[in-house]
A and B are shown apart, each in its own frame.
Chain A
Amino acid sequence: MSENGSEHAPSETGEERIAVSADSSQFQVAARHPRRVEKSAFVLFLVSVAAFAAFGATYVLGASDMVLGVLLAVGMLGFGVALASWGKYLMPRGPFEEYRAPMRTTEEQKKLLVSDFASRGKVAIERRGFLAKVMGVAGAVFGVVALFPLIRSLGPKPGKTLDTTPWKKGSYLTDINGRRLTVADVNVGGFVTCFPEDDIGGAMSQTVLLHPQTTDIVTRVGRETWAPQGYIAFSKVCTHAGCPVGLYEQATEQLLCPCHQSLFDIYSGCEPVFGPAPRPLPQLPLYIDSKGYLRAQAPYNEPVGPGFWTRGGEL
């Protein structure tokens, strides 16, 4: 400190205090041209006064959100720059310091606290040991049962709800407006999202009906009758993260999930050919009834959508 012309003066507390001249460089402002900063800050504060007032006036008059926001921003930015530069340039530039005690306490301090805690606690608890035990049991029981209402009332157990959809044997393929679909409703190259009649708009029962050709499609052994006259249906719920597989590329006969770009090949039974999807989209076996309605031969033979712990089944 000595080079700053400071001198030592004892304080009342006995701790050594240091007297410093107000001329010390630490007390000088940081700005090279303080007057200029002062003037700029003054102008900016005036700007913020005007902008805030204009905000109030235009709010009452009903200005657009953009005008309101710009006025608010101008007011706040002007205020902020002025105040921050006041602090940065027109106040003592320091540096100042404060002392920092190490976090670690002394061994004596530690011992004192620990022994106080232990000895008092020991006396209190040992004298009434049975009370402590029964209190512990009560607390534990409460802790466990308190979770019951919190967790158990929130929603139903999953049960088998994840494994099945409302599709049943004989379900009509129905569009979002509840209209049963016939062979005449889907042209070659067409794409229709359909549902079973009792679950229109259902998140898990949503199914894509495609018509890539006019002859039967056999995607796999055992599925010879599933796509009569080229009408073929797959679950629309992606097996990766459950998004609707909503993009149909007619040229390559593929379905694309727009969320994470999994690509499914229709002719191989919607096997995933690209992207993160791990399993094919389940295929809904179709038949055409005597009136030309498209119907389900059977429900999906596996859970639709992304995987879950108890899905199992296939290896």
Chain B
Amino acid sequence: MDQILVQTLHGLVNGMVLAMVASGLTLIFGIMDIVNFAHGDLLMLGAFVGASVLGVTGNYWLALLAAAVVIALLGALLQVTTLRPLIGRDPLTTILATFGVSLVIQKYALWQWGPSVRRISEPVRGDFTMFHVQYPWYRIATAILAGLILAGLWLFLKYGKYGIWIRATTQDRVMAQAMGIPVPLVYTAVFAIGSAMAAASGVLFGPFAGVTQTMGFDFTLRAFIVVVVGGMGNLGGSILASIFVSLLEAYAAIVVSPAQAVIVSFVVLVLTMLFRPTGLFVPTPK
């Protein structure tokens, strides 16, 4: 019983972090048709930047902010140099290009920070007890923070002037251009926002398991799964899907080893693509 409670909490917390990662990915896909293979590696790089800033200043919140800003700038640079020339080509070429970028980022991190695991110490300490179960406060704080950031993103997209530009571009890029929206600039900004979301979730996730240069691929794959299960380009759907998949994985980890529990989410993905390719958490298209 206790184990189920702990796994439920784990699933919810991991789901919120994953939702942040996936929201960046789905934003980028929904607007630019770019399948960003380097998303997890931007997360990893963000976590490393955060760990370094934390090491120098000792301030966790500063590290979070710095990582988001640095990776957002890097994302904008990447978009302008590698992805902008590919606009209008087959979306598959963007997978290849971002795959190349992901290799470069991984090896750069290895070169810069070495192969050892970096620890990010949590800013909120202590455990709390509920039904005889000890659970660290930091994980709860992470889930709440991730929820707040996602809510902020949603509000920005819904009511902010630039958010409306972004949504207009998603719906009809030609019309948006005709209405005077600088579409290329919107593309770059969206890629930067997505990268910043990835970096921030990297810093949030850092205290859970430490930071290594190989953590990126795992996140890329999970984010893909969640984005497809939730419906490509659908923000709310991918948040629900993140929590759903993470909970399933957490429960599966009670029975089998965590390494094998990953298969559960693979199976969910395959079933979703076969029987409901538009996504589990979106209204049925007419």
Q: Do A and B come from one complex?
A: no
